[in-house]
Amino acid sequence: MSKLNEIIKKYGVNKLNTATKYPSIMTYHDLGDKASLVESLVEGKDFFGYDNCYITEKIDGANARIIFVGGADDVEQDYIIGSREELLFAKGDRFGDPTLNIANTIKNVAEKLTCFSNDSINVLFGEVYGGDVTKASKQYTNDKSFGFRVFDIAEIPLSIFEQ
């Protein structure tokens, strides 16, 4: 039995799903008519006393995550792919959900990467874009292809499940 299956058997899939979700990000700016950042709306904002503030725009797509377990010290690596809210695919086609083409887009990424430690769960958080994910998808690719960009990584100790 894989380490991931052991975790699911011991703690349940709902606890794994909850523990690996990306937290909501507060927005510190106003949005324009088309939900885009408007420069004039940022001027004069207090960004916690910082002199410089760098503003970036998040890709308009679907939040995705890859949950890794194992892979270090000759322990077989296992993974699950999820959206922001749901677990969608498990390595080896144990279960699958085609929602927004998330799993098909990032399976090859999951197959190439390795977990950092067998005492933790590693989660890559990113955005799947292009294709027909959102109305803005045509802004990212001309041929309706899909892409994936990582925006954060978390290492979650297995001990957190004991709490």
Where in the sequence is the domain holding 67, given as residue range(s)? 3-24+58-162
Helix, strand and coil percent figures for the chain, each rounded to 5: 25, 25, 45
Q: What is the pLDDT of residues 73-87, one digit of tens each?
A: 666 788 999 999 999
Bridge-partner residues for 147, per DSSP? 129
Provide the domain count of the chain: 1
pLDDT tens digits for 38-71? Answer: 554 455 566 666 677 666 667 778 899 999 987 6
- Identify whether 9 is part of a domain: yes
Confirm whether 33 is domain-assigned. no
* Residue 45 within a domain: no
36 lies in some domain: no
Q: Is the backbone of residue 144 left (phi > 0), alpha (psi -120 to 50) or beta?
A: left
**81 located within any domain:** yes
In whole angstroms, what is the distance from residue 133 CA to residue 87 CA? 17
Looking at the predicted structure, is the pLDDT value of residue 25 above 90? no
40 occurs within a structural domain: no
Task: For residue 30, tell me if it sits in a domain.
Answer: no
